[in-house]
């Protein structure tokens, strides 16, 4: 489990401290996603992995259980730990998505990512326009202000952008839309990583304006306008990611 925004903060290259347990999870999980441990292969035995990562059997076993819960591996009696089929990977898990970013996702993966956002986030915006609370509207305006003051700081801007989308997803009545947090964060990471990592110039003012229109529509209860405004913000992200 990683905290919301951790993937976006990592784009600047700042390393995050890890304990032994999380280190093993990260190394094996990233290895599965990248193909270092190919689908259908059997992981090295416990003794080899314990030696590679300098951890106890208890730490290794707990890490493998976590990876099994994410759908990446499966324990097979008398066989060992097998790398699971891609269809079993939990692509709504933020940590799995972080490994996908690290491994450079292919075109099929990227197409699916944007399709999911286009299909579900406009519904979230419409739901939010209908059901939003006063506190949620205040939070949306707060993150809009954070975007405005960070126009010259892309990493802070993208974090505020993500948080705004996260609040809108939280305001939706559909629990499956609320589960999109990792998908939304990954797409923001894809959109902003070049700007952040290489400090490339980029005019963020139009992005801010599109989000202002989105929040205005939600605040006024305009469901159709909110859905259309959400599509525009997603398109900004998609075009930045190309």
| 145 vs 196 pLDDT, higher one | 145
Our CA angle for 124, 111, 190, nearest 5°, is 80
Q: Where are the CATH 1.10.10.10 domain residues in the chain?
A: 6-88
Residue 214: pLDDT band with limits 50, 70, 90: very high
| 12 vs 26 pLDDT, higher one | 26
Distances from the Cα of 108 to the Cαs of 3, 81, 87, 112, 141, in angstroms? 27, 27, 13, 6, 35
Query: Could you tell me which CATH class the domain 6-88 is placed in?
Result: mainly alpha
CATH topology of domain 107-241: 1.20.120
| 77 vs 129 pLDDT, higher one | 129
| 10 vs 91 pLDDT, higher one | 91
| 154 vs 6 pLDDT, higher one | 154
Q: Does pLDDT of 131 surpass 60?
A: yes
Q: Does pLDDT of 149 surpass 50?
A: yes
Q: Does pLDDT of 200 surpass 70?
A: no
Q: Which of 54-58, 168-172, 193-197 has the lowest mean pLDDT?
A: 193-197
Tell me how far apart the alpha carbons of residues 98 and 181 are, in angstroms, rounded to a whole number: 12
Residue 17: pLDDT band with limits 50, 70, 90: very low
pLDDT at 198: 64
Q: Where are the CATH 1.20.120.530 domain residues in the chain?
A: 107-241
Query: Which residues, 6+ apart, have CB-to-CB distance to 173 below 8 Å?
Result: 127, 131
Our measurement of the distance from residue 50's CA atom to the centroid of its chain's CA atoms, rounded to an integer in Å, reads: 30
Mean pLDDT of the region 55-78? 95
pLDDT digits (tens, 9 = 90+) for 89-111: 999 998 999 999 999 888 999 99
Percent of the chain past pLDDT 70, that is, above it, reads 95
pLDDT at 19: 83
Q: Are 127 and 168 in contact (CB under 8 A)?
A: no
Q: Does pLDDT of 16 surpass 60?
A: no
> 3-state secondary structure string, the chain?
CCCCCHHHHHHHCCCCCCCHHHHHHHHHHHHHHHCCCCCCCECCCHHHHHHHHCCCHHHHHHHHHHHHHCCCEEEECCCEEEECCHHHCCCCCHHHHHHHHHCCCCHHHHHHHHHHHHHHHHHHHHHHHHHCCHHHHHHHHHHHHHHHHCCCCHHHHHHHHHHHHHHHHHHCCCHHHHCCHHHHHHHHHHHHHHHHHCCCCCCCHHHHHHHHHHHHHHHCCCHHHHHHHHHHHHHHHHHHHC
Tell me how far apart the alpha carbons of residues 58 and 60 are, in angstroms, rounded to a whole number: 5
The structure's pTM equals 0.85
Q: Are 30 and 103 in contact (CB under 8 A)?
A: yes
Mean predicted lDDT score pLDDT of the chain: 91
Mean pLDDT of the region 61-77? 96
Q: Give the number of residues written for the chain.
A: 242
Mean pLDDT of the region 107-133? 95
Closest CA to 233 of 79, 117, 129, 134: 117
């Amino acid at each position: 489990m990683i905290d919301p925004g951790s993937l976006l903060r990592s784009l600047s290259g700042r390393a995050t401290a890890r304990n032994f347990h999380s280190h093993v999870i990260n190394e094996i999980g990233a290895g599965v996603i990248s193909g270092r441990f190919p689908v259908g292969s059997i992981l090295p035995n416990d003794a080899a992995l314990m030696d590679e990562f300098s951890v106890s059997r208890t730490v290794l076993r707990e890490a493998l259980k976590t990876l099994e819960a994410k759908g990446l591996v499966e324990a097979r009696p008398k066989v060992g730990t097998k790398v699971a089929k891609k269809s079993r990977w939990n692509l709504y898990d933020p940590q799995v998505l972080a490994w996908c970013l690290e491994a450079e996702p292919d075109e099929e993966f990227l197409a699916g990512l944007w399709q999911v956002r286009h299909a579900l986030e406009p519904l979230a915006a419409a739901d939010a326009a209908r059901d939003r609370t006063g506190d949620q509207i205040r939070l949306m305006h707060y993150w809009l202000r954070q975007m405005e003051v960070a126009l010259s700081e892309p990493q802070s801007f993208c974090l505020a952008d993500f948080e705004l989308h996260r609040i809108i997803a939280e305001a939706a009545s559909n629990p499956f839309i609320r589960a999109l947090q990792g998908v939304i964060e990954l797409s923001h990471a894809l959109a902003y990583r070049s700007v952040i990592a290489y400090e490339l110039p980029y005019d963020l003012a139009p992005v801010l304006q599109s989000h202002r229109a989105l929040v205005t529509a939600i605040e006024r209860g305009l469901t159709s306008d909110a859905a259309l405004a959400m599509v525009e913000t997603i398109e900004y992200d998609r075009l930045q990611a190309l």
